[in-house]
């Protein structure tokens, strides 16, 4: 019986037709072709998306450069009489929006435009460089003489102190808010000294100079009476320049007291009372009530990204040079 079963099974196996070698080879070739075409389609789709994203990236880079270099910032066409507005925001220093280069360029554009009836200088600054503030003040005085029919008014925002007021003093009139901060007519030079701490820590300062005063105001060396007196004389000189500018600009309107030039600051209402300001007002109210032209055009010199980067780099280099010359961060400042 067992042998009969084996024979039946063998007969069944032999009766099933086996796949021919030709059919097997055709099936494998068909699968390989399908896989190859699918791979090609995927590669082509990947290349198309890659090209698409490259074009998008190039477009974004081009748009960024267009914005950065200011090609999209074209001056609007100015038609008809208008009030020119220039803003000084923040510290007055080289490379900042309140630098002499930026403000003077805007002032010249505003005055030279035949359609502008006057200039409003909106100031919100705690002060800064005596040099930058002095350059702007001198230019305002010059332009007022060249264009006597175009008045310049200052409108104080939050604060107009030190170098900010040095500039404001050249205006025809100064308008404030009752709570504005005005004044601080003084000069300072700040620094620090580590000599006592170094002695306690056993640290020796080894400073070599060519020139007996080259180590002037070095924070790691004792301050001599000679250097202290020299620095004070220089501060007094710059302070007197500040005083002269305020007296010349304010004239008889200034109600001078011993505290006027002491470095104190006052509220806007007190500033009007003591003659540091002329009244209360905003940019809109001054344009409407003083200049009689409510259309305002902003002449402020706004910087593009490229200019900011270049100025930042140049300012960093310049600061390093100045610091190396002074051997310290201490130098005269209106703030």
Find the helix packing angle between 21-68 and 305-326, rounded to 10°.
60
Q: Among residues 97, 116, 162, 221, which one is catalytic? A: 162
Residue closest to 167 by CA, chosen among 86, 268, 61, 70: 86
- Based on the number of CB atoms within 10 Å of its own CB, is 11 exposed (0-12), middle (13-18) or buried (19 or more)? exposed
Q: CA-to-CA distance for 260 and 143, rounded, in angstroms?
A: 28
Tokens coding 53: 């994203």
The answer to whether 167 and 124 have CB atoms below 8 angstroms apart is: no
Based on the residue annotation, tell me whether 115 is a catalytic residue of this protein.
no
Based on the residue annotation, tell me whether 99 is a catalytic residue of this protein.
no
The answer to whether 169 and 245 have CB atoms below 8 angstroms apart is: yes
- Count other Cβ atoms within 10 Å, centred on residue 260: 19
Q: Among residues 34, 178, 214, 255, which one is catalytic? A: 214
Q: CA-to-CA distance for 304 and 18, rounded, in angstroms?
A: 80
- Based on the number of CB atoms within 10 Å of its own CB, is 53 exposed (0-12), middle (13-18) or buried (19 or more)? exposed
Q: Which residues are catalytic?
A: 162, 214
């Amino acid at each position: 019986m067992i042998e009969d079963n084996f024979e039946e099974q063998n007969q069944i196996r032999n009766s099933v037709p086996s796949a021919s070698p030709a059919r097997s080879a055709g099936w494998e070739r068909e699968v390989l072709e399908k896989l190859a075409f699918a791979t090609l389609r995927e590669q082509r789709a990947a290349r198309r998306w890659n090209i698409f994203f490259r074009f998008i990236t190039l477009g974004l880079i081009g748009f960024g450069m267009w914005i950065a270099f200011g090609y999209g910032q074209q001056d609007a066409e100015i038609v008809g009489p208008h009030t020119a507005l220039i803003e000084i925001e923040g510290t007055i220093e080289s490379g900042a929006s309140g630098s002499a280069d930026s403000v003077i360029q805007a002032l010249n554009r505003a005055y030279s435009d035949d359609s502008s009836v006057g200039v409003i200088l909106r100031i919100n600054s705690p002060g800064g460089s005596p040099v930058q503030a002095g350059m702007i003040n001198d230019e305002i005085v010059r332009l007022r003489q060249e264009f006597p029919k175009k008045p310049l008014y200052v409108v104080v925002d939050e604060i107009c102190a030190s170098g900010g007021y040095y500039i404001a003093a050249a205006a025809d009139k100064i308008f404030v808010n009752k709570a504005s901060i005005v004044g601080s007519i003084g000069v300072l030079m700040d620094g620090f000294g580590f000599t006592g701490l170094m002695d306690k820590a056993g640290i020796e300062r080894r400073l070599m100079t060519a020139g007996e005063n080259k180590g002037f105001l070095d924070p790691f060396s004792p301050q001599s009476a000679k250097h202290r007196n020299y620095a004070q004389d220089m501060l007094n000189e710059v302070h007197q320049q500040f005083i002269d500018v305020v007296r010349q600009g304010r004239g008889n309107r200034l109600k001078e007291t011993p505290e006027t030039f002491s470095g104190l600051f006052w509220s806007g209402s007190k500033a009007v009372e003591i003659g540091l300001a002329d009244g209360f007002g905003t940019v809109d109210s001054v344009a409407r009530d003083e200049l009689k032209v409510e259309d305002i055009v902003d002449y402020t010199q706004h910087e593009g990204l490229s200019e900011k980067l270049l100025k930042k780099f140049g300012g960093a280099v310049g600061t390093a040079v100045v610091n190396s010359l002074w051997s310290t961060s201490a130098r005269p400042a209106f703030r």
